[in-house]
């Protein structure tokens, strides 16, 4: 039963379809036959894949069986290549309706090189069709939903800032074409089980609050693998739980009835297109083929329950409908089905003949093939502007120069938006307009004044939800925007971990360069704060350098922060930009403003001081501590330390390390994170492996104790590596 709050936006009445009254005229007989063709094709592709899996010719199968009517209806109500789509694995019929072919699907199943969705990298049914705006999907349940919200925000942003969509040379924009429509809708679907993921609620919240044209479709087949819906959802019905979200148009429908489903989609899409807000369709469907081929539902569902489902099979229902209404007779149905079978046979044969990808392609598209952020062409000199009065230029802090870089880049590139917790000057902008307040601009004030300068469209606060920040940024970046978002404290990055590990760095690789999401995640990191304690002092950069596809930068001074942040923003890859809180306003490493084009390429270390006796490789807040120790060692013992500041952790500058260690024959890797399995472990291992012949002593690490940072400063000092620890290690190694 459809519970509808029909808003009747323009054009809907003509499209109105009511299955009960048989007023399905707006779907012509041809469209209904087409709907059946799509649904039947979808089912038969599943059947053929199941056979192929049993014959071990493909390696995985998950079906869209039972979900075909909803898919066809959505495909009819939305516009392929115009609207945007974040489907999930049951949406085979939707993809067919949008224009995908069984051949393309089967190429994915066999893992062919020519698989247009992933080039053999993803499981079947992980849809990705750039030509239809179907954005690359992954396997984590629910991780697509916040991205869909960001995608809708991207469309709206470009509609409001059409100049921003223009192509531009000299940075990522050269390779990132933008298309948008003023009235586009973003479709996102998920199962009943996936509504239990927190990210679903975060997405509903933002779509509701910002009145975004996102169409949420919950395909409720009553089970998440073996877990029934009443265990997932309080009260057993998601419609009831979400009913309180403002601005939505809600529909709860029998998703096995294509005509009723189409009617609900037409109403909801019209509502979203008209800019009224998001839509929510809760479609009750069935799952006749168990969860996947690895699941046997007879183990947890009795026959009687399965029979009830079978009686609602959308394929049979549609067949009977067509016959009953005289749209197709039995012969006509047979002819259509035979045609589908014949075409499918050709597609299967072609897929089985398709060449697999060659192993030498595995490293392709981890990063942008177009823009190399390590290129020395990016290196520019800082602009030195001598003041007219002849006075010295006042050196700026790292915080100042990060703020200045953000401002410069926002001026240069209208695709940049900044959001995160507390980053705006004030969400209640009338206070700013009336000049009642100064504005906040971040808990560390790094984004201070940007909302004032660029407006609330470009700098705004997010809800207190880290996955929300990163998930939306990914969706926006997919559309060609450049979100530069902030995670307030590294210690609180973990709610975003699914997006940071399984999504952001994988968008390009898993879609075989079909999509990309180059955004910047700025994160305040690190300790030495005197009172920062456990939850405001953590490092953990190696967790991210361990993630292929993610650039990781960690500057130690103001000038490097400015140059590297600019490279990060102009880059065509996702960048995690780690800003050490202790260094924000340190006297060490201040520098004059280097101008609006100052850049440093990624992966180029800086030799802070050269030496001949020992190499210390470090980064971040350990740099000034190591420098202090090295200077003392030279003063007191004449040992000359070569100090290398890596600046960029992925990629890192192996050449500079190798040249230095080959010269000094002794190496210490120092880092603020806990010693074991920390970032320096990899560097130490590489030195041991590749520079063994040059070593006169073992490779040493100096790092934090294997414990979290405690509150009491005496404890903090004992836990984090100090200049004295570095001095001791340097002296010992020099004497080894
Ligand atoms: C984050 C995450 N946890 C667990 C899984 C394993 N898993 C895959 S599908 C699934 C059930 C999904 O159920 P539902 O959302 O109802 O969709 P359905 O498959 O029933 O259409 C689970 C637990 C996963 N893919 N991702
Ligand atoms: Mg389910």
User: 349: which residues sit within 8 A by CB, 6+ positions away?
Assistant: none
Average pLDDT of the segment spanning 22-44: 90
In 3D space, the residue among 122, 132, 74, 65 whose CA is nearest the CA of residue 100 turns out to be 132
Note the pTM of the prediction, 2 decimals: 0.95
Distance 542 CA to ligand 1 centre (A): 29
Give dist(CA 574, CA 385) in Å, integer. 32
Confidence band for 393, pLDDT divided at 50, 70 and 90: confident
Distance 87 CA to ligand 1 centre (A): 14
Average pLDDT of the segment spanning 85-89: 98
140 lines ligand 1 (CB under 6 A): yes
Ligand 1 atom at minimal distance to the Cα of residue 219: 21
**Residue 469 pLDDT > 80, yes or no?**
yes
Decide: 616 and 633 in contact? Cβ < 8 Å: no
**Residue 2 pLDDT > 70, yes or no?**
no
Residue with tokens 């780690």: 578
Confidence band for 303, pLDDT divided at 50, 70 and 90: very high
Q: What is the pLDDT of residue 390?
A: 72
Q: What is the pLDDT of residue 726?
A: 98
Classify strands 551-553 and 648-650 as parallel, antiparallel or unpaired. antiparallel
* Helix, strand or coil, per DSSP, at residue 283: strand
What ranges make up the beta strands (E) of 651-726? 667-674, 700-704
Q: What percent of the chain has pLDDT over 90?
A: 94
Average pLDDT of the segment spanning 29-36: 96
User: 133: which residues sit within 8 A by CB, 6+ positions away?
Assistant: 80, 81, 82, 83, 84, 85
**Residue 283 pLDDT > 90, yes or no?**
yes
Q: Residue 121 burial by CB count (10 A; 0-12/13-18/19+): exposed, middle or buried?
A: buried
Q: Write the pLDDT tens digit of every residue in 584-607.
A: 999 999 999 999 999 999 999 999
Ligand 1 atom at minimal distance to the Cα of residue 90: 21
Neighbours of 731 (CB within 10 A): 17
User: 55: which residues sit within 8 A by CB, 6+ positions away?
Assistant: none
Cis status, amide bond into 558, omega within 30 of 0? no
Q: What is the pLDDT of residue 9?
A: 36
Rounding to the nearest 10 degrees, give the CA dihedral for residues 643, 647, 653, 656. -20
Ligand 1 atom at minimal distance to the Cα of residue 192: 16
**Residue 12 pLDDT > 50, yes or no?**
no
Nearest protein Cα to ligand 1, atom 1: 140
Whether residue 536 lies in the annotated active site: yes
Give dist(CA 519, CA 469) in Å, integer. 11
Confidence band for 22, pLDDT divided at 50, 70 and 90: low
Confidence band for 394, pLDDT divided at 50, 70 and 90: confident
Confidence band for 24, pLDDT divided at 50, 70 and 90: confident
Mutation to probe ligand 1, out of 193, 196, 228 (largest number of atoms < 8 A from CB): 193
Angle between helices 198-209 and 466-478 (to 10 degrees): 70
Give dist(CA 205, CA 9) in Å, integer. 24
Which H helix or E strand runs over 198? helix 198-209
Give dist(CA 400, CA 585) in Å, integer. 8
In the structure, ligand 2 is a single-atom ion and the residues with CB under 5 Å from it are 191-193, 221, 223-224
Give dist(CA 257, CA 284) in Å, integer. 10
Q: What is the pLDDT of residue 21?
A: 42
Lowest mean pLDDT among 25-34, 189-198, 363-372, 549-558: 25-34
Q: What is the pLDDT of residue 23?
A: 52
* Helix, strand or coil, per DSSP, at residue 82: coil
In 3D space, the residue among 377, 359, 368 whose CA is nearest the CA of residue 651 turns out to be 368
Decide: 112 and 356 in contact? Cβ < 8 Å: yes
Q: Residue 237 burial by CB count (10 A; 0-12/13-18/19+): exposed, middle or buried?
A: middle
**Residue 369 pLDDT > 80, yes or no?**
yes
141 lines ligand 1 (CB under 6 A): yes
Q: Write the pLDDT tens digit of every residue in 115-137.
A: 999 999 999 999 999 999 999 99
503 lines ligand 1 (CB under 6 A): no
Q: Write the pLDDT tens digit of every residue in 625-673.
A: 999 999 999 999 999 999 999 999 999 999 999 999 999 999 999 999 9
Compute the mean pLDDT over every residue in the chain, rounded to the nearest whole number.
95
Q: Write the pLDDT tens digit of every residue in 305-316.
A: 999 999 999 999
């Amino acid at each position: 039963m459809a519970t509808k709050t029909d808003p009747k936006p323009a054009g809907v009445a003509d499209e109105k379809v009511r299955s009960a009254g048989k007023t399905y005229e707006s779907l012509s007989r041809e469209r209904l036959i087409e709907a059946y063709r799509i649904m039947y094709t979808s089912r038969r592709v599943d059947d053929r894949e199941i056979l192929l899996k049993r014959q071990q010719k493909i390696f995985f199968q998950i079906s869209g069986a039972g979900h075909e009517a909803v898919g066809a209806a959505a495909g009819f109500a939305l516009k392929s290549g115009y609207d945007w789509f974040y489907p999930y694995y049951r949406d085979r019929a939707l993809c067919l309706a949008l224009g995908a072919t069984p051949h393309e699907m089967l190429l994915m199943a066999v893992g062919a090189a020519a698989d247009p969705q992933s080039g053999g990298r993803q499981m079947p049914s992980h849809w990705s069709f750039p030509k239809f705006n179907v954005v690359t999907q992954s396997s984590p349940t629910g991780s697509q939903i916040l991205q869909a919200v960001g995608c809708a925000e991207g469309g709206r942003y470009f509609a409001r800032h059409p100049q921003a969509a223009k192509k531009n040379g000299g940075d990522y924009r050269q390779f990132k074409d933008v298309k948008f429509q003023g009235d586009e809708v973003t479709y996102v679907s998920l199962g009943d089980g996936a509504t239990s993921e927190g990210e679903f609620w975060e997405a509903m919240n933002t779509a509701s609050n910002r009145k975004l044209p996102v169409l949420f479709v919950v395909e409720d087949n009553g089970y998440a693998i073996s877990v029934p819906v009443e265990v997932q959802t309080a009260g057993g019905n998601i419609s009831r739980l979400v009913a309180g979200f403002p601005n939505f148009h809600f529909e709860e429908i029998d998703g096995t009835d294509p005509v009723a489903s189409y009617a609900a989609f037409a109403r909801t899409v019209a509502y979203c297109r008209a800019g009224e807000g998001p839509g929510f369709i809760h479609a009750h469907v069935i799952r006749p083929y168990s969860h996947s081929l690895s699941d046997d539902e007879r183990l947890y569902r009795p026959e009687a329950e399965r029979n009830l489902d079978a009686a609602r099979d959308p394929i049979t229902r549609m067949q009977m409908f067509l016959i009953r209404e005289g749209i197709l007779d039995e012969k006509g149905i047979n002819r259509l089905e035979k045609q589908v079978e014949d075409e499918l046979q050709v597609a299967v044969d072609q897929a089985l003949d398709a060449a697999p990808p060659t192993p030498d392609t595995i490293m392709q598209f981890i990063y942008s093939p177009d823009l190399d952020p390590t290129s020395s062409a990016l290196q520019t000199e800082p602009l030195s502007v001598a003041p007219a009065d002849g006075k010295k230029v006042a050196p700026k802090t790292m915080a100042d120069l990060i703020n200045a870089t953000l401002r410069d880049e926002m001026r240069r590139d209208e695709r940049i938006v900044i959001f995160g917790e507390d980053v705006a000057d004030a969400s209640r902008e009338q206070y700013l307009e009336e000049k009642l307040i100064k504005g906040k601009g971040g808990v560390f004030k790094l984004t201070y004044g940007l909302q004032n300068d660029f407006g609330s469209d470009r700098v705004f606060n997010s809800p207190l939800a880290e996955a929300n920040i990163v998930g939306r940024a990914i969706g926006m970046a997919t559309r060609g925007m450049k979100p530069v978002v902030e995670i307030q404290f590294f210690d609180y990055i973990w709610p975003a971990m699914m997006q940071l590990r399984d999504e952001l760095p994988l968008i390009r690789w898993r879609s075989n360069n079909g999509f990309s999401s180059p955004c910047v995640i700025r994160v305040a990191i690190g300790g030495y704060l005197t009172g920062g304690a456990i939850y405001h002092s953590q490092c953990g950069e190696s967790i991210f350098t361990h993630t292929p596809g993610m650039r990781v930068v960690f500057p130690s001074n103001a000038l490097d922060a400015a140059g590297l942040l600019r490279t990060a923003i102009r880059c065509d890859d996702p960048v995690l930009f780690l800003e050490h809180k202790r260094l924000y306003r340190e006297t060490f490493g201040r520098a004059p403003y280097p101008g609006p084009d100052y850049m440093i390429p990624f992966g180029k270390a800086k030799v802070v001081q050269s030496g001949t006796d020992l190499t210390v490789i470090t980064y971040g807040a350990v740099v000034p501590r190591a420098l202090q120790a090295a200077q003392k060692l030279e003063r007191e013992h004449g040992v000359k330390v070569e100090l290398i500041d890596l600046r960029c952790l992925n990629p890192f500058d192996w050449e500079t390390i190798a040249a230095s260690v080959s010269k000094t024959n002794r190496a210490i890797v120092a880092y603020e994170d806990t010693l074991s399995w920390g970032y320096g472990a990899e560097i130490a291992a590489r030195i041991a492996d590749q520079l063994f012949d040059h070593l006169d002593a073992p490779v040493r690490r100096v790092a934090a104790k294997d414990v979290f940072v405690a509150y009491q400063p005496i404890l903090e000092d004992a836990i984090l590596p100090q200049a004295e620890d570095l001095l001791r290690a340097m002296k010992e190694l020099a004497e080894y």
